[in-house]
Amino acid sequence: MAKSMIVKKHEHDAGEVEFIHAEKAESVRSMMRSDDQFFRFAEKIKTLGDPTRLKILFALSQAELCVCDIANLLCVSNSLISHHLRLLKTMRLVRYRREGKMAFYVLDDEHIRNIFTEGFNHIEE
């Protein structure tokens, strides 16, 4: 109903953080990992959170493929595949080998291979 009325916050001693359920919350706090660990973990997961990259990884879990064939397979540009492969390479999820003017990529992460071979929609993260 009414809004923006005068507000007089309940003054609380210091600037200390107050939990409503102190015991439980403190116990959880003691289990918490560092910000950095959560951040890095999230970065790794993000790498997998894109349909195009998932397709690439799935394809590379089936066979060693050159950039060109991956692009045709997914019906997208060479350039796009190359961009994604760079990221996947940085994250050490794929490995590559040069042969003449071609570059052959393979999946280089057994955990991801398992996700795909173990049914895909079955485990589903």
Residue 115 is encoded by which pair of tokens?
Answer: 């996700």
HEC profile of 14-42: CCCCCCCCHHHHHHHHHHCCCHHHHHHHH
> How distant is the alpha carbon of residue 19 from its chain centre?
31
- When CB distances are held under 5 to 8 angstroms depending on the partner's kind, the choice from its own copies, DNA, none that residue 97 binds is none
Q: Interacting stretch for DNA, rule CB under 7 A, among 24-32, 96-104, 108-116, 117-125?
A: 96-104
At residue 123, φ and ψ (nearest 5 deg) are -75, -50
d(CA 48, CA 45): 5
Q: Decide if residue 15 touches DNA (CB under 7 A).
A: no
**92 near its own copies (CB under 8 A):** no
Taking residues 39 to 78 in sequence order and writing x for each that binds DNA by CB under 7 A, - otherwise, the string is -------x--xxxxx------------xxxx-x----xxx
Closer residue to DNA (CB): 10 or 122: 10
Nearest distance from C-beta of residue 60 to DNA, angstroms: 12
Q: Locate 21 and state its tokens.
A: 């359920």
User: Binding string to its own copies for residues 37 to 66, with x set by CB under 8 A, is what?
Assistant: xxx-xxxxxx-xxxx-xxx--xx--xxxxx
The backbone torsions φ and ψ at residue 47, rounded to the nearest 5 degrees and listed phi first, read: -55, -30
Site residues for DNA per CB under 7 A = 1, 3-10, 20, 46, 49-53, 66-69, 71, 76-87, 96, 100-104
